[in-house]
Amino acid sequence: MLIEGSIVRAVEISDKNPKAWIFRLNNGGEYSTHLGRIDHDRIIGSKYGSIINLTKGKIIILKPTPREFIRSFSLKTQIMYEDDCAIACSVAGIGNGMRVGEAGTGSGALTTFLAWAVAPDGHVYSFDNNEKHLNNARQNLQLTGLQDNITLKLHDIRESVDIPELDAFFLDFSTPYEAINSVTRNLKSGGHLVCFVPNWGQVEQIIEVINLNPELILQRVFEINKRDFNVNPKKHIMRPKFRSIVYSGILIHAIKILS
Ligand SMILES: C[S@@+](CC[C@H](N)C(=O)[O-])C[C@H]1O[C@@H](n2cnc3c(N)ncnc32)[C@H](O)[C@@H]1O
């Protein structure tokens, strides 16, 4: 049952570009939309999946997923989009109770996915050397309700950090090869190193550093492609979109061995 403090996503019921809003429920609270005012008290006590009538339309109340949190974020940096985050998490087998590191925090997109995956018992240590980015990410992450599972730190990850025995470390910035040796010291043996970059030149530099590090073994290098579809059952349309982002980046995965 939804209670005061629950985070909800209200989605317009419409065939044409339905709008959606994410907010936290407060007793007596309200949220203004073009369909009319949403009174929080009408949602408190109901369940996810409930349909609410507003003055000019209907909304459905849903539980937000990491994708929807990310889509509502203020973006001050490039981010890892949901499919890339999900693949990165699955490559390293991220799940409840794990302790993971990440740099840079950027806008907090991957941080959200990681925290969602390790909650309720795990923790994400996320580092960025740009204070403005970190503050923006902190603001974004407030809405997710996952703050207890996240520590944000202003830090240049090329310099060592004292957080040992991490299950995985994720690097998403332009020169990850400069930080690989440093973060490998934070990994437990059998832990995962995952780098995400857009250019092959960066991949070559990453592989060179991994190969020279006796504690790391390269596992996989692959690019992430996807093709979105246009679907309209009424008009019998189901075909790839003419315009879509088909390439996002290259993922490099290595594991730390017992030395
Ligand atoms: C592409 S963004 C990361 C996006 C993030 N993964 C997300 O999904 O929102 C790169 C971030 O790395 C940070 N950065 C660059 N070099 C860094 C370093 N040496 N140490 C820590 N953070 C760094 C930048 O300030 C920037 O915020």
**Residues 173-183: pLDDT tens digits?**
999 999 999 99
Tally Cβ neighbours within 10 Å of residue 23.
19
Ligand 1 centroid–CA 143 distance in Å is 21
Report the residue among 105, 125, 175, 178 best suited for mutation to probe ligand 1: largest number of ligand atoms under 8 A from its CB: 105
Ligand 1 centroid–CA 238 distance in Å is 38
Ligand 1 centroid–CA 235 distance in Å is 44
- Average of per-residue pLDDT values in the chain: 96
Assess whether pLDDT exceeds 90 at residue 15. no
User: What is the number of the ligand 1 atom nearest to the C-alpha of 104?
Assistant: 12
Ligand 1 centroid–CA 20 distance in Å is 28
CATH 3.10.330.20 correct for 7-62: yes
- Among 36-50, 186-200, 205-219, 235-249, which stretch is predicted with the lowest mean pLDDT? 235-249
CATH 3.10.330.20 segments of the chain: 7-62
**Domain 68-256 carries which CATH code?**
3.40.50.150
Assess whether pLDDT exceeds 80 at residue 259. no
pLDDT band for position 17 (50/70/90)?
confident
What pLDDT, in 10s, does the model give residues 26-44? 999 999 999 999 999 999 9
Ligand 1 pocket (Cβ < 6 Å) reads: 77-80, 103-104, 106-110, 127-130, 133, 156-158, 172-173
